[in-house]
Structure 1
Amino acid sequence: MGVITKISLQQKLKDRYNIFIDEKYAFSVDESVLIQFELRKGMELTDEKLAAIFQQDAVRQGMNAAIHFLSIRMRSEKEVRDFLVKKEVTNEAAEEVIRSLYRLSYLDDAQFAEAYANTQMNTSDKGPQLIERELKEKGIADVLIKKVLAPFEFRFQLEKSVKLAEKYRQKYRNESLIIQKQKIEQMLARKGYSWNVIHEALAESHPSENEEEQIEALMYQVEKAHRRYSKFSDGEYRQKMKQALYRKGFSIDDIERALERLQEES
């Protein structure tokens, strides 16, 4: 219990006030809390009144921080809750902040999920399974996830995955056709596409039938392997070269011809 002897505006934070009790600094409050509790010089504060003031100020600080957090972009309820934990807002104050945010329409998981899914579908190369995982991580309910991913139809997924497959075929052009296929499958799976979509995409995205390009890919891998195994004796060298290139998806006949070509050029 004590009596307020001075109230002063903080220098750096213009919406907070320092409260002095019995001539000594006691605490600071948000301007809205100052007004709500009609704090003034000469006012006597009981322990119960102080507890109520501290609680409401914690809510106000949490609310201010949450609104700023939400002003950057839309957030899910879980993201805001996690943010308040990091800001060390008490559980009781956080619950009141969340209720207020919903009441003021700052929070709406249904709207957030729809906006997030639409953005990811239309501006990224992510598939529905990856988007679903991300929404789950953000605390979105399964029923909402199912609803917002419904427009992500098979044909739309296929168009996106075919473009990705063609793009990555170029990236992996120095690999054998077998390794190309494996890497594209793995990439599309990581992106969140189902195996049905992946298999259809690979069927529509045809590998290069250019024999010269395939020979170039093989020779590229031969030269890489040669740099690694050239220090070995002839017999061991050929064995390691064949094993390495076979693991890369090339046939034994092609490997034999490539090794002969390498020997002729060296």
Structure 2
Amino acid sequence: MAVISKITVQKKNKSRYNLFLSRGRGEEYALSVDEDLLLKHGLKKGLELDEEKLIQLINEDEKKKAYFLAINFLSYRMRSVDEIRVYLRKKEKEEQHIDEVIKELLEKKLLDDQEFASSYVRSKQLTVLKGPMKLKQELIQKGVQESVIERALEQFTKSDQIEAMVKWLEKQNTTSAKKSNQALKEKLSIQLQSKGFSRDAIKEAVRQVDLENDKEEEWEAICFQGDKVKRKLEGKYPDWEFKQRVKQNLYRKGFPMDLIERYINSIDQLE
């Protein structure tokens, strides 16, 4: 049987106490405990502690440490249950203590994956351009269940998505003397797809924004692209095949056939 021979306050943390025990062979440091545990168990000098009690104190104190780590981690922003679990594992806390801490945090409403996911979606709507598919992917990486994510994404309606994309599209350099109207639309649409928006929503957003070059700008664009193709292919093919290859290249770049024919005719006139 061990007897508490001395209790001292830690210098760097005034809410923790060092316990020293005597087992008849002199005094030795045994463990440190939180102030709550000190009061809960009535720990004081002269109190006898058996091995079972010591193990209980150590176990409860380790759980306390895990709990305070989680609280500190939560102080910066909301977290998912899985984020807390991963964090405590990195801190090498025991699974039993992690489970107990998470249970306590859930009971105290300090952890709530549904609220976390909803808040995450709202925050991203206000700060960055990300579609529902991108947000879903990010929340899955944070360990949130798909059913919870789907409910959170209900607030991000299709009309909200379109409105966000329209604002983004209007800020882009929507006219270009170097690209066809179609190529510009495809480029911006691909960018929006990479941000996690659906094709249907993108199509509607693009429809609502004037992305068209005027006739003069479109002509400048085909001349720019056509001249690049000419320089690349000139002298490599007979005249008819050369023109067919130029046509095919410009068609792939999104130019309408009537404008392509006009460009080819302009080549003939120069010759």
Interval containing the TM-score (normalised by the shorter chain): 0.7 to 0.9
Report the residue type matching 2:37 in the other structure. Answer: V
Q: Secondary structure at the match of 1:48?
A: helix
Q: How far has the Cα of 1:94 moved from its partner?
A: 0.9
38-47 vs 85-94, which deviates more? 38-47
CA RMSD of aligned residues (A): 3.5
Q: How does 1:21-170 map to 2 (within 5 A)?
A: 21-22=21-22, 23-170=27-174
Any conservation in 2 of the 1:154–1:197 contact (CA below 8 Å)?
yes
Any conservation in 1 of the 2:79–2:111 contact (CA below 8 Å)?
yes
Q: How does 1:232-251 map to 2 (within 5 A)?
A: 235=235
Any conservation in 2 of the 1:245–1:255 contact (CA below 8 Å)?
no
- Computing the radius of gyration from Cα coordinates, the structure with the larger value is 2
184-193 vs 249-258, which deviates more? 249-258
Q: For residues 171-211 of structure 1, give each alpha carbon's deviation from its aligned partner in whole angstroms, at most 9, with x where no partner exists.
A: 97754434322321221112111111112222222323224
Q: Secondary structure at the match of 1:114?
A: helix
1:3 corresponds in structure 2 to 3
1:264 corresponds in structure 2 to none
Q: How far has the Cα of 1:254 moved from its partner?
A: 8.5
**Distance in 1 separating the partners of 2:226 and 2:48:** 87
- Structure 1 residues 31 and 221, CA gap change in structure 2 (3 angstroms): farther
**Distance in 1 separating the partners of 2:185 and 2:127:** 25
**Distance in 1 separating the partners of 2:221 and 2:16:** 68
Which structure 2 segments of 5+ residues have no match? 237-241
Report the residue type matching 1:162 in the other structure. Answer: V
Report the residue type matching 1:51 in the other structure. Answer: I
Report the residue type matching 2:17 in the other structure. Answer: Y
- Structure 1 residues 21 and 165, CA gap change in structure 2 (3 angstroms): same
Q: How does 1:201-220 map to 2 (within 5 A)?
A: 201-214=205-218
Q: How far has the Cα of 1:31 moved from its partner?
A: 1.4
Q: How far has the Cα of 1:115 moved from its partner?
A: 1.9
Question: TM-score scaled by structure 2?
Answer: 0.76
2:239 corresponds in structure 1 to none
Question: TM-score scaled by structure 1?
Answer: 0.77
**Distance in 1 separating the partners of 2:148 and 2:98:** 24
Q: For residues 187-237 of structure 1, give each alpha carbon's deviation from its aligned partner in whole angstroms, at most 9, with x where no partner exists.
A: 1112111111112222222323224444665687799x79xxx9x9x857x
Q: Secondary structure at the match of 1:72?
A: coil
Matched positions, count: 255
Q: Secondary structure at the match of 1:193?
A: coil
- Structure 1 residues 220 and 50, CA gap change in structure 2 (3 angstroms): farther
- Structure 1 residues 3 and 168, CA gap change in structure 2 (3 angstroms): same
Q: How far has the Cα of 1:75 moved from its partner?
A: 1.5
Q: Secondary structure at the match of 2:46?
A: coil
1:18 corresponds in structure 2 to 18
1:194 corresponds in structure 2 to 198
